[in-house]
Each structure stands twice: as structure tokens, then as C-alpha cells.
């Protein structure tokens, strides 16, 4: 596909996937129109970059379906001066979109090959307010916190307190919460008020789980 064809596919994604799916925040729509999704996948996947489904990446990661990512970012209500943390950055596409909305973005990923590739793409498309670093996902990245907004790019069975506590006093976190044994998850918003956290269900979503956030199964004898 030529660049003009990708631009057409990008506009079709916004008009036919995002707008009909209750994505109404113009800043979010503009960010998706700006970032070349095809740059974040391998050559064999570029023709599929704008389809309405997850695209598999190495190591069990995925490039999240555009609608799910867009609605998740919209729910965060990102402000231009927000300090933003992305957990499970994968190929870096979500990081690039978030960088168009927030003041600064730190993204963490456990797989060194994904970190290197993603950072290279960010530089190549002129993103200068985001960085992707190698780190354990459940640890977050407290050195650059606290964070106004946190996005976990994947399914979770639990969100550890250590990550929630990296939110600012009125911070917001979004992840796809999936109860143990349930095939479909629910995009959920965690909000912080002082020391208390509240989870609000948003919409159904099916994305691969991040193993680091699997619930521990306890056995009793």
C-alpha cells in the first residue's frame, strides 16, 4: 500500500470504526487521524493495520483494536498537561496516540525487542514527549510519578495497589478487567479520591490478558 492508501485507511478507521462506537472527543479522533498505525507493525501486517481487530505481536502482546484503545483513552479524559503512564506498551502505537493528548508519556514494556523497536518508531515520526523503557509491568514506574492518567494496554484480572498508588489524588486508570474464567472483559475506569479507589465498568471488550496481572489462585486444604 502507498502512503495515500494508508491515509485513506486511517480516515476510514476514524469515520467507520471510532465515530460509530461513541468516540466523540475531537482531540482523540484527531490523534488517531495523525498517527500512522502502519509504522508500528511488521511489513507482513501493514495491509491489516487498520482492521477492526487486535493484531498479534511477539511475546503474546497485541496491537489493540482501534475502537477499544480510542474509547479507553476517551474515558481517561486526558488533559494537555497530564503526566501519563502506559503499562504494557507493546509496539508503542498507544504511546504515540497518548503523546498527542498528554504533556508527557512514560511507557513500560518487559520485552527488550519491543522496547527498542517502539522507541525507534516514535523518534522516526517525531514524537518527542514520550519514552518507552524496560520495566516489570506490575511495578509501574514510580521514578517519574505520580501520574494523572494510567492506561494498561491489555486484559487484567487484578490491578495491584502498588500501581494504583502511583496515581495523583484525582487520577484515573483504565484497563480491560476480566474476572477469572470469563471469556470477555470489561473496560473499566479506576478513579482515586484520597486513599480510596473506585472501579466503574465502561464497555465490554475482548483483548489478550497480560500474564503479569493474572490473579493468584489460592488453594485451601
pLDDT, residue 2, reads: 60
Give the pLDDT confidence of 32-85 residue by residue, as tens digits: 999 999 999 999 999 999 999 999 987 778 999 999 999 999 999 999 999 999
Give the pLDDT confidence of 121-173 residue by residue, as tens digits: 999 999 999 999 999 999 999 999 999 999 999 999 999 999 999 999 999 99
The model scores a pTM over 0.85? yes
The grid cell for 191 is 478513579
Domain extents in the chain: 52-213
In the Cβ-directed half-sphere of 36, how many Cα atoms lie within 13 Å?
A: 21
Superfamily per CATH, domain 52-213: Vaccinia Virus protein VP39 (3.40.50.150)
Q: Render 74-130 in DSSP notation, one character per residue.
A: HHHT--TT-EEEEES-TTSHHHHHHHTTSSEEEEEES-HHHHHHHHHHHHHTT--SE
Distance, C-alpha 23 to centroid of its chain:
16
11, containing H or E segment: helix 3-13
Share of the chain above pLDDT 70, in %: 97
Amino acid at each position: 500500500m502507498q502512503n495515500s492508501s494508508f491515509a485513506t485507511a486511517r480516515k476510514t478507521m476514524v469515520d467507520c470504526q471510532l465515530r460509530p462506537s461513541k468516540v466523540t472527543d475531537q482531540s482523540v479522533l484527531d490523534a488517531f487521524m495523525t498517527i500512522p498505525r502502519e509504522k508500528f507493525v511488521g511489513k507482513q501486517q501493514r495491509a491489516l493495520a487498520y482492521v477492526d481487530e487486535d493484531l498479534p505481536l511477539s511475546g503474546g502482546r497485541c496491537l489493540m483494536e482501534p475502537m477499544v484503545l480510542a474509547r479507553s483513552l476517551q474515558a481517561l479524559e486526558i488533559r494537555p498537561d497530564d503526566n501519563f503512564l502506559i503499562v504494557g506498551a507493546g509496539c508503542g502505537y498507544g504511546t504515540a496516540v497518548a503523546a498527542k493528548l498528554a504533556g508527557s508519556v512514560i511507557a513500560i514494556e518487559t520485552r527488550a525487542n519491543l522496547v527498542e523497536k517502539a522507541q525507534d518508531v516514535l523518534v522516526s515520526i517525531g514524537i518527542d514527549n514520550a519514552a518507552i523503557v524496560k520495566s516489570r509491568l506490575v511495578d509501574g514506574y514510580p521514578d517519574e510519578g505520580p501520574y494523572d492518567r494510567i492506561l494498561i494496554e491489555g486484559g487484567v484480572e487484578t490491578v495491584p495497589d502498588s500501581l494504583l498508588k502511583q496515581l495523583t489524588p484525582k487520577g484515573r486508570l483504565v484497563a480491560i478487567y476480566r474476572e477469572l474464567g470469563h471469556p470477555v472483559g470489561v473496560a473499566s475506569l479506576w478513579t482515586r479520591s484520597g486513599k480510596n479507589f473506585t472501579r466503574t465498568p465502561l464497555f465490554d471488550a475482548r483483548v489478550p490478558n497480560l500474564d503479569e496481572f493474572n490473579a493468584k489462585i489460592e488453594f485451601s486444604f
